[in-house]
Amino acid sequence: MTLSTPAPIHPGHELRDSALRQLDSAARALNLDPGMHKFLSTPERTLIVSVPVMLEDGQLEVYTGYRVQHSTGRGPGKGGIRFHPGVTLEEVEGLAMLMTWKCAVTDLPLGGAKGGVAVDPHRLTRRQVERLTKRYTAAILPIIGPERDIPAPDVNTDESTMAWIVDTVTMMTGQHSPEVVTGKPIELGGSRGRTEATGRGVAFVTLEALKRAGRLPENTRVAVQGFGNVGSVTAKGLAEAGCKIVAVSDVSGGYAAPYGIDIPGAIEHVRRHPKRMLEGLPGLSKISNAELIAMDVDVLVPAALEGQITSANVHEVRAKIIVEGANGPITADADRKLADRGVVIMPDILANAGGVVVSYFEWVQSRAQFYWELDEVERRLEIYMRRASDLVLAKTKVYDCTPREAAFIVAVERVASAIEKRGIFP
């Protein structure tokens, strides 16, 4: 008898199932009403659209697009749009649910949504991507809007993509509508500080975790995996607060300096040498990614890719505090093992929520047509991130749980409470 090989689990299914498990855990802790639990397990609205694009050679290609609104119980949906060949309905559903919790844990008056098109934009010209964006926007227009659902950039989309969405909505409605998206160019109503928001948020969450642990920044050694936008801004913020950044890494490799790295100098070096990245920066010793993760530091900030700490290397991690700058950098199995060892993990739905917090600020500014200076954006961001961190860490004591579990408890409780107070229509 020949046994068939089980079909591999698609990453999209895994992401959605993980989000559902986290909801289940929070529901048990809160003794959530079974009907409410079922309601929060299912998206409010799912739209699947056909996105035809005429290529330059006259050939018609048709792509599949999605927009999922998981919950609008606390306000309009909020979430990015990604262009990637691996986009599936299950992935978008899982990401929309996580956006609900990310907005709720930071106490934003927004719900969770996500969108995407199953396409490889790198195989298209810029003009073709523009046509794809505008056709996709026209297809989802019936369910988006500044009081319904506000898209933002995500994988393979950027401020130009958002500008094309603004143009499409304006042309189709006859009304200038910069508030229909966030992550726009400054010239079209984008917010100052949006690019740095996620990294600055990670830094604020890290400093709050250090304060709760009774540790002074000047006595703290930090390793940052990933020196892109999020990692470099995080490193800069922590260095300015007094932390010693002893190791960083990027696509060119890992680099260490036991007495601390000159972060502004490293950022300038990358700016001058974008292809070589940190390679060639004087005064640093070359290390591997594995060595960085295993360094004897107080804080580790994985700010690169998902799945960096797994059951294969979790025993090598020596940091006492881990702050998830990236989405899902720690697998579920490794997360449990680290928690059993007493490692404090500040979870991604809290730690990297600075981006959506400033997206909320941008939405507010665009609706009011009144724009804030950078210092005002950064001041308000710090208030939101520190307040959310303080509440999550306090809930770990109330529920005797990890910060990750506490973050989901806070978020689910807020969303369920809002829905209960509104009542179920009709």
Query: Are 144 and 210 part of one and the same domain?
Result: no
In this predicted model, what pLDDT tens digit does every residue of 137-163 receive, in sequence order? 999 999 999 999 999 999 899 999 999
The residue out of 351, 386, 406 marking a domain boundary is 351
Query: Are 169 and 287 part of one and the same domain?
Result: no
What confidence score (pLDDT) does residue 273 get? 82
User: Is residue 413 domain-resident?
Assistant: no
In this predicted model, what pLDDT tens digit does every residue of 4-27 receive, in sequence order? 444 445 667 788 888 999 999 999
Q: Is 114 annotated in the active site? A: yes
In the chain, the N- to C-terminal Cα span, in Å, equals 56
What confidence score (pLDDT) does residue 410 get? 98
pTM of the model as a whole: 0.92
Write down the catalytic residue from 78, 114, 184, 236. 114
What confidence score (pLDDT) does residue 152 get? 96
C-alpha 322/C-alpha 422 separation (Å) is 38
The residue out of 351, 370, 386 marking a domain boundary is 351
What confidence score (pLDDT) does residue 278 get? 79
- CATH classification at residue 171: 3.40.50.10860
What are the residue ranges in the chain where pLDDT is below 50? 1-8
What confidence score (pLDDT) does residue 11 get? 62
What confidence score (pLDDT) does residue 2 get? 42
ω into residue 426 within 30 of 0, thus cis?
A: yes
Query: Are 102 and 208 part of one and the same domain?
Result: no
Strand-pair partners of 152 = 80
Query: Are 251 and 330 part of one and the same domain?
Result: yes
- Contact call for residues 311 and 334 (beta carbons, < 8 A): yes
* Domain extent for 116: 42-176
Q: What are phi and psi of 121, to 5 degrees?
A: -65, -20
- Contact call for residues 53 and 135 (beta carbons, < 8 A): yes
C-alpha 73/C-alpha 76 separation (Å) is 8
- CATH classification at residue 247: 3.40.50.720
Which of 25, 51, 52 lies closest to 40, judged by CA?
Answer: 25
